[in-house]
Amino acid sequence: MSKLYVVGIGPGGYEQMTIRAAKVLEECDIIVGYTVYVDLVAEHFAGKEMLTTPMRQEEKRCRMAFDEVMKGKDTAMICSGDAGVYGMSGLIYEISQDYPGVDIEIVSGVTAALSGGAVLGAPLMHDFAVISLSDLMTPWELIQKRLAAAASADMAICLYNPSSKKVKPYSFRTCFIDPFQGTVMASFASNDLKVKKAAIYIDNTSDYAKGLAQFFKENFIKNGGEVVIEEAYLQKDTDFKATLTKIKAANPDFIYIPGYYQEVGLIVKQAREMGINVPMAGGDGWDSAKLPEIAGKAALDNTFFSSLYSPDDTSDLNKNFVAEYKKAYNTNPDVFAALAYDSTLLVAEAIEKAGSADPAKIAEAMAKISGFKGVSGEVTFNEEHNPIKSAVIIEHKNGAQTFKTKVNP
């Protein structure tokens, strides 16, 4: 039977990987890992099949690795730093009970605690503790006890994973989270383009692409559409003709490609050369002046992407904002200007509704805001303090970006 390696790839750079780790990755058939970690090593192991999952799908990732070994392929599960320090070693051994007989080898790496100390000029010269501040799985009260115990023992303390995904009472977004773009494009495809059969073509190394694709699929089907084929490519691929041939054979009337402009440009160009003339669309990863250079202006006709803001939005509110902005700065506002403007007005409205300058009361009032009309869209905050808001659809015409419409969630 083939072998499963759990490999610590070190603190990030290829040159900081151990010789043993690099050799194992070179010899393995499959590399499995969290998308960010796979991106760190992909260019150094070209031609390898790489499988990824996003954050919080660690068990799925481990089982993917075991499944590949059971197919007779030597497989490497990669982790940042050392595989045994907040890595995947423990979970791999736990799940191995379901895969008896699989040979497992742990390949150590340089943990970030040690490399970080070296970078900071603060080497860990005596007893130290590595403590995670993440309270997603561990009660904060227990974390506090660990910190107090380490501090009282005069130990050096390395803090790991300080950010928590829990809702922060004083933090609010004015820009929607990435996957929401998939929901918006599903509505546009169904209601504006009137398409019924969609193909989805994603970058399999990108959490961004996977998130948008998932939301698009769920909502397109909910709207009565059918996803007739799903295919994937890898970042930095350049030849997409074989997969596009499969997509063409499935006869979709719309193709959703939630990737970045570098690959999207080549995909659109090759698709048009093959006679695939249906509408294509994606997310704001398409937003680049280089896209027409890669795809060709003509090829981009009948393509669309979702975005946070367009200065060409025809609402009276936006027209006034653009006019005042151009008067002050002699240029059109970009998305950051629009979001900054809306953020300021949202805070002002929350202060007014709270009737107080007390931060807690302002945050409470902010969380209750509903239907706020901003230049970047109408905002209502959900329970996670993310905005439920409209998005704009940009259409390419002769290589130029033009405002198409605004889509409400």
Which domains, ranges and CATH numbers included, belong to the chain? 3-112 (3.40.1010.10), 124-160 (no CATH), 167-409 (3.40.50.2300)
Whether pLDDT at 358 is above 70 = yes
By residue count, the chain amounts to 409
Mean pLDDT across 204-210: 83
**E runs forming strands in 263-351:** 280-282, 303-307
Task: Tell me the DSSP string of 282-300.
Answer: E-GGG--TTHHHHH-TGGG
Average pLDDT, the chain: 91
Nearest to 75 by CA among 43, 99, 111, 40: 99
Q: For residues 211 and 392, which has the higher predicted lDDT (pLDDT)?
A: 392
Q: Which residues of 366-399 are buried (b: 16+ CB within 10 A; e: fewer)?
A: bbebeebebbbbbbebeeebbbbbbbbbbbbeeb
Quickly state the pLDDT bin for 398 (edges 50, 70, 90). very high
Nearest to 393 by CA among 403, 384, 385, 401: 403
Are the beta carbons of 96 and 66 closer than 8 angstroms?
yes
pLDDT band at 1 (very low <50, low <70, confident <90, very high): low
Strands of the 387-389 sheet, one edge to the other: 372-374, 377-381, 387-389
pTM: 0.60
